[in-house]
Amino acid sequence: MKPTPSLWLIIAVVTLLVNACFCPTDWMPIWHADLLCSSKCHPAKNPGRNAIRRNRRWLKWQRRLPQQPAKRRCKRRVCEPLILLSARHVQRVKSSRASQPIVSTPDPLAGLRICRGWIDQVDYRQVAAIIQKVRWPQGPVCPACGERETQYVHCLDPEYHQGLGRWRCEICAQAGDPGEGGTFTVLTGTLFAGQQIDLRSLWLILEAFADGKASVATARETQVNRHTTDRLFRLLRAALYLTRSEEPIVLNPEEVGEFDEVYLTAGLKGNAGGLALEREPRKRGLKQRGRGTWDSDRLPVFGLLCRGGQVRLFVLKNVQTDTIRPIVHKMVRQGAKIYTDSYCIYQFLAREGYVHQAVNHGAGEYALDMDGDGRCEVHCNTMECTWSWLRPMIRTYRGISKVYLPLFVTQFEFLFNHRQHNRWNRTLDVLSAVFQVDPDKTSDLLCHVEGARFSEICPVAG
């Protein structure tokens, strides 16, 4: 058995003691090579070998680094034939690749990427033809006298204003029209009269509005000024507000209507609508409790929906029976089925000829089966689902003044009622709504928009 280092230490001590006691004074200790500690026993006391170990570990780590991309390249090239190359040839190939400069290839689609979309690939005359078809489905009509006969209305310059065209009405010209001498374009007498932007940009703005985008994002996409898109968006919302349908949405007793209300936080901002701020600034993050009103900056929005049909939204000063009664009488015929929650303002429905049934949300009732057919038809979940679409749309604009809130709600109502249409058809519907505005109200509407006096347009703000 080979002695351990500790045993050799004991033997050395005993040897020293024996030599000291029995040997003469000029004694010499006897040392053995095995008594010396090897370098493997105390690595901390051997900095030379530690440096060698660190160098080996660093070189091993460096050799591992380029192996990872090589493995991924092998996985992608499993179908290539296997070619065995020598290490010297591989090193020569690597050095030659490293010496070659990296040259970026030009993008073959660079000419198309600078375009704003398909509209830049269309000629101006084609866009003008689309606008003319929407404005005049049966042919050009004089906006002043309404004349449409071809013998009195003829085209003067088809290339006028990027293909928009210019016509002349002989009746207005002979009557001594003090304006343009009886001449007009397809945009004369509309909200777009006098616009300085080109037809392509105008169409892109209409598409973005019909798609529910904000004016800032629209200005960035169409490459026009942000204030231009903001003003056009206000004009479009005001046009939708003036041309919104006032016909009843629930006509037959077999149809079902749902009523509900929601409260949106909106205050006065930036002297909007010409109304001065008569209160202290509201604290950020302040949550209004209870049912809101116009004065509490938590505006109520009353909604009526016909199942399988359209929706009507109204921004009110408050939600009370006297406030919603005229709206209900106007939008719903008597004898129809009305489903609401258990709010007390709906108790007059049963007394005034409506088949009214309610669910008690406070008791955990959200849908009831009254006829026992296994289907819970009594609910107002469809109307409540509409609010889950309205809130994100309002949140997109990061704060809306309560003066303009009726216009934003009208825009959402239009988009919701046309949600089954694609963007092209929604754009055509928006353009049709703009052309339906009474020309006599166009000048007043422009003044209201430019002066932010929506209190004269929106009955809520008045």
**pTM (2 d.p.):** 0.70
- In the prediction, which pLDDT does 312 show? 93
On whether the CB atoms of residues 333 and 250 are closer than 8 A, the answer is yes
The dihedral through the CA atoms of 290, 293, 296, 297 has a sign that is positive
Q: Which residue has the tokens 């406070």?
A: 362
- In the prediction, which pLDDT does 10 show? 78
The full set of domains in the chain, from first to last, is 119-188 (no CATH), 192-243+422-462 (no CATH), 247-275+292-403 (3.30.420)
On whether the CB atoms of residues 18 and 29 are closer than 8 A, the answer is no
**What's phi and psi for 143, nearest 5 deg?**
-70, -15
Tell me which residues of the chain have a pLDDT lower than 50.
25-30, 71, 74-85, 462
- In the prediction, which pLDDT does 229 show? 92
- In the prediction, which pLDDT does 16 show? 66
- In the prediction, which pLDDT does 308 show? 87
Residue 256 pairs in a beta bridge with 337
CA-to-CA distance for 127 and 175, rounded, in angstroms?
Answer: 33
- In the prediction, which pLDDT does 174 show? 83
